[in-house]
Amino acid sequence: MPSFYDYSKQFAWDGIEKQIRQARQADVEKALSADHPTMADFAALVSPAAEPFLEQMAQRAHGLTEQRFGRVISLFAPLYLSNVCTNRCVYCGFNAGNIVDRLTLSPEEAAQEAHYLYQEGFRHILLVAGEAPKIVTPSYLADVIKRLRPEFSSISIELFPMETLAYKALVDAGVDGLVIFQETYNEKLYAKVHPAGYKSNFKWRLETPDRGGAAGMRRIGLGALLGLSDWRVEGFFLALHAQYLLRHYWRSQVTISFPRLQPATGGFHAPYPVSDAHMVQLLAALRMFLPDAGMILSTREKPEFRDALIPLGITIMSAGSKTDPGGYTRESGAEAQFEIADHRSPEVVADIIRQKGFEAVWKDWDAAFLQ
Ligand code: SF4
CB 253 within 8 A of CB 218: yes
Strand partners, 177: 156, 219
H/E segment holding residue 18 = helix 13-21
Instruction: Delineate the domains of the chain, giving CATH numbers in brackets.
Output: 4-370 (3.20.20.70)
197 CA from centroid of ligand 1 (Å):
10
Tell me, what's the pLDDT at 144? 98
- Out of 84, 86, 88, 89, give the residue to mutate to test ligand 1, the one with the largest number of ligand atoms within 8 Å of its CB: 89
- Out of 85, 90, 104, give the residue to mutate to test ligand 1, the one with the largest number of ligand atoms within 8 Å of its CB: 85
Ligand 1 atom index nearest CA of 83: 7
- As a whole-number percent, the residues of the chain with pLDDT over 90 amount to 88
338 CA from centroid of ligand 1 (Å):
11
311 CA from centroid of ligand 1 (Å):
32
Tell me, what's the pLDDT at 336? 78
Q: Is 208 helix (H, G, I), strand (E, B) or coil?
A: helix
CA angle 360, 323, 257 (to 5 degrees): 55
Ligand 1 atom index nearest CA of 86: 8
Own/partner pairs, 8-12, CB within 8 angstroms, 24+ separation? 8/185, 8/206, 8/237, 8/240, 8/241, 8/244, 11/236, 11/237, 11/240
Tell me, what's the pLDDT at 369? 54
How confident is the model over 98-144, as pLDDT tens digits? 888 999 999 999 999 999 999 999 999 999 999 999 999 999 999 99
Tell me, what's the pLDDT at 371? 47
More confident: 363 or 104: 104
The Cα-based distances of 45 to 41, 83, 238, 262, 282 in angstroms read: 6, 38, 14, 26, 8
- Out of 81, 158, 199, give the residue to mutate to test ligand 1, the one with the largest number of ligand atoms within 8 Å of its CB: 199
Closest CA to 66 of 279, 313, 308, 306: 313
How confident is the model over 224-236, as pLDDT tens digits? 999 999 999 999 9
Q: d(Cα 263, Cα 243) in Å, to the nearest integer?
A: 31
Residues with CB under 6 A from ligand 1: 85, 87, 89, 92, 94-95, 130-131, 199
CB 127 within 8 A of CB 323: no
Average pLDDT of the segment spanning 41-70: 97
Average pLDDT of the segment spanning 218-246: 98
How confident is the model over 183-214, as pLDDT tens digits? 999 999 999 999 999 999 999 999 999 999 99
Closest CA to 272 of 223, 224, 225, 227: 227
Which value, in Å, is the radius of gyration of the alpha carbons in the chain? 19
